[in-house]
Structure formats: C-alpha cells, structure tokens
A = this chain, B = another copy of it.
C-alpha cells in the first residue's frame, strides 16, 4: 500500500512546471529529485502532493527511482485552483539574509508578485532572481499555497511608476510626515488590486517621496511611531492588508 511521505508540517508538496491531470506523468528537476529521494527518502509507491499554479493540487505516486531521477504519476486532484487576493509587494532590495527572509514571509503572507525596485538609497546593486524564486518556491510548498509569486525583473522607481497599471492602488509605506495609518485607509475604500511599497534600509529620499505622492494611484500610509526595518515594514503591511482587504477576512 502506498505510504504518504510527511514533513514536519504535512505531506511533501512540490511545485512543478508540468501540466497536472489524471494519469499525467511528471518528471522532477534534478534538485527536486535529490530532495525527494535523498532528503525525504522516497521510495516507489510513496505519495506526494504536486501543484503548478494552474491545475490545483494533485496527489501523485512516486514511480521507480533511478540514478537518472524519478517520475511521478498524478492520481487525483485534492484541491481546486481558486482565486487569490491580488496583492503585490514592491520592495527595494536589502541585504542577502533579510531579503531571503522577506521573500519567504511575503510568500507565506500571500503576495502574488514580488517586484524589486531600485531607489536612490538602495545599497544592494545586484539581484539574484534565481535565489529569490527558489525562496518563493520553497515557501509556497510549505505554506500550502497553490501558486508561486511571480518575481518581477528589477526596475528603477521612475520606470516602475511610469509603467504602473493605474487601477492598482500602491500603498507607499512612508516613514515621514502626515501619512494616515494603513488599517484606517483600508477600512475606507475598495483596495484591490493593490500593492505595498517599502523602501531600502535608509528609506526613500525627499525627491522620491515627492514623486510618489504626486501619482494618483499612490496612497502614502504609516505603520506607527516606531522605526521598522525594511523587511518588518513589508511584512506588517502585507499582514494588515490581508486582514482588512484580503482572504483573512
């Protein structure tokens, strides 16, 4: 009889690119095959869950394990692909470890797109998009999401604003001045589709703040009287949005 492979938090879940459906055969990537066989010690007949962001979640059976890898057979759908709240996170890249953490947490908190933006005070000059995606995939697998957030190609703030989709409200976490509390703003108006914008360690400079405030689709918001690190601000704002306007209601 088939065994269900389990991790600490539940069954092993893997994100795959292939189409999923009854009888579909799915070959794993080298990294996933290694994880499944050598880390989780899967054997032929073991059951795992698969998702691809399109076809819901499928229970699949591990086929024969060889040196060349492993193929899984889809048995049945266990969850249907449903709508998800339409929330983006636009963030100035920060140092490596906090950035990994930010991507993992933003994925758990349900952001559907993670968009790096370069600002004047951004210290980090290069972004490893593969690393961002790997963190997002791992967090999606563990959080039981049925999709993986898209990782946007990095843009400068000016370019981002020039090509911004006008119907998507951009909540700009503004440390200085007269911005209103995020929870209060969300209680008053329709706030989806939406995006949260957070700056780098040193915040936005005055020119950037003025530019942001001049956009009709931008609402400056505050996250209280204490100074939050860039990653804390992003996570706090995502949580408040999900609580007020997303699927935590």
Task: Give the docked Cα–Cα distance between A66 and B102 (Å).
Answer: 42
Cβ–Cβ < 8 Å partners of A239 in chain B: 223, 235-237, 239-240
Cβ–Cβ < 8 Å partners of A237 in chain B: 239
Q: Shortest beta-carbon distance, A113 to chain B, in Å?
A: 16
A119 near B: Cβ within 8 Å? no
Could you tell me which residues of chain A, from 202 to 242, have a CB within 8 Å of some CB in chain B? 202, 222-229, 232, 235-240, 242
Task: Give the docked Cα–Cα distance between A184 and B248 (Å).
Answer: 9
In the complex, the answer to whether A202 meets B9 with C-beta atoms within 8 Å is yes
In the complex, the answer to whether A224 meets B242 with C-beta atoms within 8 Å is yes
Chain B residue at minimal CB-CB distance from A175: B9
With known contacts A235-B239, A240-B240, A248-B222, A228–B183 Cβ distance under 8 A: no
A198 near B: Cβ within 8 Å? no
In the complex, the answer to whether A224 meets B246 with C-beta atoms within 8 Å is yes
Chain B residue at minimal CB-CB distance from A236: B239
A8 near B: Cβ within 8 Å? yes
A154 near B: Cβ within 8 Å? no
Q: Shortest beta-carbon distance, A201 to chain B, in Å?
A: 6
In the complex, the answer to whether A248 meets B229 with C-beta atoms within 8 Å is no
Contact with B along A139-160 (1 / 0, CB 8 A): 0001111000000000000000
17 further contact pairs, Cβ within 8 A, besides A110-B226, A144-B225, A183-B183? A8-B201, A9-B201, A9-B202, A9-B227, A10-B227, A105-B229, A108-B228, A109-B228, A142-B229, A143-B229, A144-B226, A182-B248, A183-B248, A232-B235, A236-B243, A240-B240, A240-B243
State the 3 A-B residue pairs at the shortest beta-carbon distance, nearest first: A183-B243, A236-B239, A224-B248
